[in-house]
């Protein structure tokens, strides 16, 4: 299995040219970015409560009366707004910065694929204009192959990544909205 993957990468790398390898590196960057957002949305740095309690509280809102009461006891009445702002910053600021960055990486993939298309077309036109010892058909087919492989690779990378990014963004917005509801509930309580 590993040998088949290695062979396929070798073939695609040789036919796709240098742009294919750039796209492969970009794919790893996108994957790392999306995984880091997913990890941040698990709330590993959640203060005061455990991350599982925060998730329950944020997704169920004020229906989690026990956890809400626990949070209100731990925060206390004094400096409620300041503490809630600090907690919100700790829990959401990194994810808030990484979500747009991941989107930029994802939207770059088809553009890099398009760069490969242009590069492949240059190779094709060079093959058409210059006499070649191996024949113009082999140079032309190499250019067309490069153009198609890189275009397809850019789309194969970006389309699924966009759907994953969108799901993570919706999850982030739901957690953030839940946090705002908790802040309102606590202010009303005090």
Which of 142-146, 150-154, 167-171 is predicted least confidently? 142-146
The rounded mean pLDDT for the chain is: 86
Q: What are phi and psi of 173, to 5 degrees?
A: -65, -35
Q: pLDDT: is 138 or 61 the higher one?
A: 138
Whether 80 shows a pLDDT value over 70: the answer reads no
Give the range of the structural domain holding residue 117, as residue numbers without chain letter: 2-189
Q: What is the pLDDT of residue 86?
A: 87
Distance of CA 139 to the CA centre of its chain: 37
Q: What is the pLDDT of residue 111?
A: 96
Per-residue pLDDT band for 77 (boundaries 50, 70, 90) equals low
Nearest Cα residue to 142 out of 157, 121, 118: 121
pLDDT in tens, 113-133: 999 999 888 888 877 776 666
Q: How many CA atoms lie within 13 A of 184 on its CB side?
A: 9
Per-residue pLDDT band for 159 (boundaries 50, 70, 90) equals very high
Which of 5-9, 91-95, 170-174 is predicted least confidently? 5-9
The pTM assigned to this predicted structure is 0.83
The Cα 73–Cα 68 span in angstroms is 9
Q: What is the pLDDT of residue 139?
A: 75
Q: What is the 3-state secondary structure (H, E, C) of 149-189?
A: HHHHHHHHHHHHHHHHHHHHHHHHHHHHHHHHHHHHHHHHH
Q: What is the 3-state secondary structure (H, E, C) of 49-76?
A: CCHHHHHHHHHHHHHCHHHHHHHHHHHC
In the chain, the number of structural domains is: 1
The Cα 95–Cα 43 span in angstroms is 10
Q: What is the pLDDT of residue 134?
A: 61
Q: What is the pLDDT of residue 126?
A: 77
The Cα 65–Cα 122 span in angstroms is 66
Whether 50 shows a pLDDT value over 90: the answer reads no
């Amino acid at each position: 299995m590993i040998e088949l993957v290695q062979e396929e990468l070798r073939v695609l790398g040789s036919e796709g040219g240098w742009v294919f390898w750039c796209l492969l590196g970009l794919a790893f960057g996108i994957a790392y970015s999306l995984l880091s957002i997913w990890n941040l949305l698990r709330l590993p740095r959640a203060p005061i409560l455990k991350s599982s309690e925060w998730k329950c509280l944020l997704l169920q809102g004020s229906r989690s009366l026990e956890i809400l009461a626990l949070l209100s006891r731990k925060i206390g009445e004094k400096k409620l707004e300041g503490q809630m702002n600090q907690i919100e910053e700790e829990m959401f600021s990194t994810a808030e910065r990484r979500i747009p960055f991941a989107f930029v990486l994802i939207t770059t993939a088809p553009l890099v694929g398009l760069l490969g298309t242009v590069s492949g077309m240059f190779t094709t036109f060079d093959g058409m204009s210059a006499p070649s010892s191996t024949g113009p058909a082999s140079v032309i087919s190499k250019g067309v192959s490069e153009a198609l492989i890189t275009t397809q690779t850019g789309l194969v990378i970006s389309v699924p990544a966009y759907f994953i990014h969108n799901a993570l963004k919706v999850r982030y917005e739901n957690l953030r909205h839940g946090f705002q509801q908790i802040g309102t509930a606590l202010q009303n309580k005090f």
